[in-house]
Amino acid sequence: MSQFTKTVLFTDSDGRARFREELLALEQGTPQSRLSEVFASGGYQLRTSPVGFRSEFHCTGAPQWVFILGGQMEIGLQGGVSRVFGPGQHFFSADLLPEGAAFDATIHGHWSRQVGPDPLVTLFVKA
């Protein structure tokens, strides 16, 4: 069986953002073109961020896929952990603020920034 690796940015039980990998089965299609089930989506947005862009710590407002179309995006977590995603790479952003919590930039969320010489171009697909 073919599988697709889904990188997930999520909020753990301690309120901190973390990464994990999940495998999605590709059980449909043909042997030459394996497909997953069809997933619903709530629209999409395109974004470009200039060289030097960096956000503050924040939580994802609503779960969404993030696809890197051009440039590189670094996602940083509390404690100094970060990952860089380049063109053709993706992750599922679901690090929501825990229900009932007030946002605290020393605990919650992630930051993002453009890395390298090229502007960052991203596609956000709302889940």
Per-residue pLDDT of the chain (127 residues; tens, 9 = 90+): 699 999 999 999 999 999 999 999 999 999 999 999 999 999 999 999 999 999 999 999 999 999 999 999 999 999 999 999 999 999 999 999 999 999 999 999 999 999 999 999 999 999 9
- Report DSSP letters for 86-118, one per residue: -TT-EEEEE-PPPTTPPP-TTTS-EEEEEESSS
pLDDT at 51: 98
Alpha-carbon torsion, ordered 30, 39, 110, 100, to 10 deg: -150
What domains can you pick out in the chain, each with its CATH number? 2-126 (2.60.120.10)
pLDDT at 53: 98
pLDDT at 61: 95
User: Which pTM was predicted?
Assistant: 0.93
Who's near 100: CB < 8 A, 6+ residues apart?
A: none
